[in-house]
Chain A
Amino acid sequence: MFTKVLVANRGEIACRIIQSCQLLGIKAVAIYSEADRDALHVHLAEEAYEVGPARVFESYLNIDKILAVAKEAKVNAIHPGYGFLSENPDFATRCHEEGIVFVGPSPETMMLMGDKVSARNHMKKAGVPVIPGSVEPIASVDEAVTFAEEQGYPVMLKAAAGGGGIGMEKAGDKEQLKKAFQSNQRRAMNYFSSGSLYIEKALESPRHIEVQIIGDRGGNVIHLGERDCSIQRRHQKVIEEAPALDLSEGLLQRLRKAAIQAAKSLQYENAGTLEFLVENDDFYFLEMNTRLQVEHPVTEEVTGVDIVREQLNVAAGEALGIDQSRVQMQGHAIETRIYAEDPKTFFPSPGTIDVFDIPEGECIRLDTGVQSGTEVTPHYDPLLAKLIVSGKSREDTIEKLQETLKGCNIQGLKTNIPFLREVTNHPDYTAGKITINFVNDHF
């Protein structure tokens, strides 16, 4: 096992990883930008190094600087968390070249899955169902229109190198498609340095269901069940839960089989997630995230598996600590993402947190990187905390979650807590009538 790991991230996920490292007796090294000098993750780690100004390209995405710190601190491995460099094959390659273990899959796998077009084509070959879509990136508006007219509207335009809901837009007719093409190409170029777009047939009201998998160097791959991540705003998840409700046994088996088949076809090592859209009793591959995901805690709560711990074990060359027959799912867990944003418009709301008071309890888990007094800057994403509540059943969990959200008190900036309260009290939500259109349909 490693003795020292650098955590190349910030916020709640850096804190989460540092805590798992410490439980394993691994020294954690934090990095921080000038804007994060006083951040919680900096204080939690055994050592911390500044890596540059607030802007992400100069700090958290500054590969040279981060590797220089890793060498200076003499770490064995780098855990990238999610976002930032977590799915960057160049970074993973550079780590390998420097003799530092990258906690994640191989750069080749990241590259293959990072491009949505190559990922779709690979999955098709691996026998995983994919939504009808373009086989190659589309070069022009005319090509997009031809596809849409052949397949029928609505269609979904996506950035081939995209993620986080950026560069993704649904179009219901030709005019909308033309407009979406221009704006998405610009966005894709700015965010991902590639204006490459592809197009898919859009489903009417699917659910977003994903399967957590983890593999080791010996070729063992297990799944840790499903998460339902259908409650989204701006194509970004807000509430996730495990297990996913109301999926037939047959569908569950097919989803899990497809996820394992996909991972094995990639000789996948480390934690990963296969994302699917599910409509009626059918499912379609959406994308694979080759990293730890924001919503991993709900899976941890129902399976009892510490995913970060398994990631570190596997990266250190050890075999998975559990086999499939020992993965048992018990109870229910729901995660709500607390964002610094206006609860009505979902517009960002940076500022200083004057009061940060979240109820505590046996069934409540809070993953956060902030506290009272933290300044939340416009430089990074608005996620303040993840509130995860567990219970015996979904009903029981929702009741506890409603109580907990009622007791949350965050002052100094706007948060989406009023929105989370409204969703979790909505009769369609409590009845489990959720699809990816839930927020658009009800709010």
Chain B
Amino acid sequence: MAKIEASMAGNLWKVLKQKGDTVKAGEEVAILESMKMEIPVEAETAGEVKAVMKAEGEFVDEGEALFEIE
């Protein structure tokens, strides 16, 4: 099971993938907002989303897990 983590602290603005979705490596899975800038979060590896760990609007710290991928 791989995790997709937040690359920096910020507000989780958009969650683009849901449980059960498949993702490709490099695909945008969420958008963080930090210091008034949008930061795309990309999947490092391909797989199926097993869990979405944060909800839109939540504040996340750098390194916090956002998705579990298998």
Contacts and interface: CB of A to CB of B under 8 A. Distances in A.
Chain A partners chain B: yes
Interface of A: 55, 164, 166, 186-187, 190, 234, 340-341, 347-348, 350, 378-382
A340 B36 contact: no
A164 B35 CA distance: 13
Contacts of B35: 340-341, 348, 350, 378-382
Given A347-B39, A348-B8, A190 B34 contact: no
A72 B55 CA distance: 37
B21 interface: no
B57 to A, nearest CB: 9
Interface in B21-58: 34-39
Contacts of A340: 35
A348 B13 contact: no
Given A348-B8, A350-B8, A381 B36 contact: yes
Contacts of B8: 347-348, 350, 378
Nearest to A382: B35
Given A348-B8, A350-B8, A380 B13 contact: no
B9 interface: yes
A164 B38 CA distance: 13
22 contacts: A164-B36, A166-B36, A190-B13, A234-B37, A340-B35, A347-B8, A348-B8, A348-B10, A348-B34, A348-B35, A348-B37, A348-B39, A350-B8, A350-B9, A350-B34, A350-B35, A378-B8, A378-B10, A378-B11, A380-B36, A381-B35, A382-B35
Nearest to B7: A347
Contacts of A234: 37
Contacts of A187: 38
Contacts of B36: 164, 166, 380-382
B23 to A, nearest CB: 19
Given A190-B14, A378-B34, A378-B35, 18 more contacts: A55-B11, A164-B36, A166-B36, A187-B38, A190-B13, A234-B37, A341-B35, A347-B8, A347-B37, A348-B35, A348-B37, A350-B35, A380-B35, A381-B35, A381-B36, A382-B35, A382-B36, A382-B37
Contacts of A379: 35
Interface in B1-15: 8-11, 13-14
A374 B64 CA distance: 24
A378 B9 CA distance: 6
A340 B37 CA distance: 12
Contacts of A378: 8-11, 34-35
A187 B40 CA distance: 13
The 9 closest A-B pairs by CB, nearest first: A348-B35, A378-B34, A382-B35, A381-B36, A378-B9, A348-B34, A378-B10, A348-B37, A378-B35
A65 B70 CA distance: 46
Contacts of B39: 347-348
Contacts of B59: 55
A414 to B, nearest CB: 11
A347 B34 CA distance: 9
Contacts of B37: 234, 347-348, 382
A215 B34 CA distance: 37
B17 to A, nearest CB: 16
